[in-house]
């Protein structure tokens, strides 16, 4: 277990860098008016992966081996490296930028997303007694809400040029939903849990736009 925790920490260092880099690359190579659309696509991809990962991982854990949840990332990572090497334009100029310390600190609030994605499968398995595969299926509403609103918000930002309203609405919805999720018990129905889950994530990636 100690090895698993340490190596997952190393994985987190790389993963965290990749998440931030994708945002920076979009800001560097995409015109400002079109950035919302691309950020929305990134948000949708992240939401899809957040649900597909536990679902596939649950299947591997139940029907194969828990090591499969790590092996499956190897071919995906190799494909991503090849695509980036071929398509990502080279940087022709360099500029020094001031670090937005306040923005970085506030960004931590968007970990409403990571916490719930991590907590809900554990809740469903331990409290509700579901299998890993079943808990992954119960997370599908989360993916639906995330995909729908990430793409929609990105399109609206690109078309209107206005973005301030989206993080305000998104943060409000997430706050209310997480409060309700925190009150879930073993008696909470599947319909209620699915509704709260879809609300809790459908706007949580929008503040990153």
Domain definitions of the chain by residue range: 13-81+103-208
Those residues whose C-beta lies under 8 Å from the C-beta of residue 83, and which sit 6 or more positions away, are: none
Q: Which tens digit of pLDDT belongs to each residue from 94-108?
A: 667 677 777 777 766
Q: What is the pLDDT of residue 203?
A: 45
198 — pLDDT class (breaks 50, 70, 90):
low
Tell me: pLDDT of 202 over 50.
no
Weakest-pLDDT range from 141-150, 181-190, 199-208: 199-208
- Kindly report whether the global pTM for this prediction surpasses the value 0.75: no
Q: In the chain, pLDDT over 70 holds for what percent of residues?
A: 86
State the residue for tokens 């190799």: 78
pLDDT class of 201 with cuts at 50, 70, 90: low
The tens digit of pLDDT for each residue in 43-85 reads 777 777 777 777 788 788 888 888 888 888 888 889 988 888 8
Q: Is the pLDDT reported for residue 200 higher than 70?
A: no
Average pLDDT (2-16) is 85
- Would you place residue 204 in the very low, low, confident or very high pLDDT band (cuts 50, 70, 90)? very low
pLDDT over 50 at 199, yes or no: yes
Work out the number of other CB atoms within 10 angstroms of the CB of residue 104.
10
CA distance 181 to 202: 14
Which ranges of the chain would DSSP assign to H, the alpha helix? 2-29, 32-63, 68-71, 73-87, 101-107, 112-126, 132-138, 140-160, 165-181, 190-202
More confident residue, 92 or 141: 141
């Amino acid at each position: 277990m100690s090895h698993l925790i340490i190596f997952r920490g190393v994985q987190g260092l790389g993963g965290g860098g990749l998440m931030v880099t994708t945002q920076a690359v979009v800001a560097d190579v995409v015109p400002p008016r079109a950035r919302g659309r691309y950020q929305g696509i990134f948000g949708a991809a992240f939401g899809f992966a957040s649900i597909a990962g536990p679902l596939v991982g649950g299947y591997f854990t139940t029907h194969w081996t828990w090591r499969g949840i790590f092996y499956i990332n190897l071919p995906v990572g190799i494909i991503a490296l090849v695509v980036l090497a071929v398509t990502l334009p080279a940087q022709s100029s360099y500029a020094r930028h001031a670090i937005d310390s306040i923005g970085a600190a506030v960004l931590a609030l968007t970990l409403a997303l990571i916490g719930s994605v991590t907590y809900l499968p554990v809740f469903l398995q331990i409290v509700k007694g579901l299998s890993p595969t079943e808990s992954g299926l119960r997370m599908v509403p989360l993916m639906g809400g995330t995909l729908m609103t990430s793409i929609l918000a990105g399109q609206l930002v690109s078309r209107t040029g206005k973005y301030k309203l989206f993080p305000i609405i998104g943060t409000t919805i997430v706050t209310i939903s997480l409060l309700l999720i925190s009150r879930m018990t073993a008696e909470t129905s599947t319909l209620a849990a699915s509704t709260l889950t879809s609300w809790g994530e459908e706007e949580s990636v929008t503040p990153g736009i």
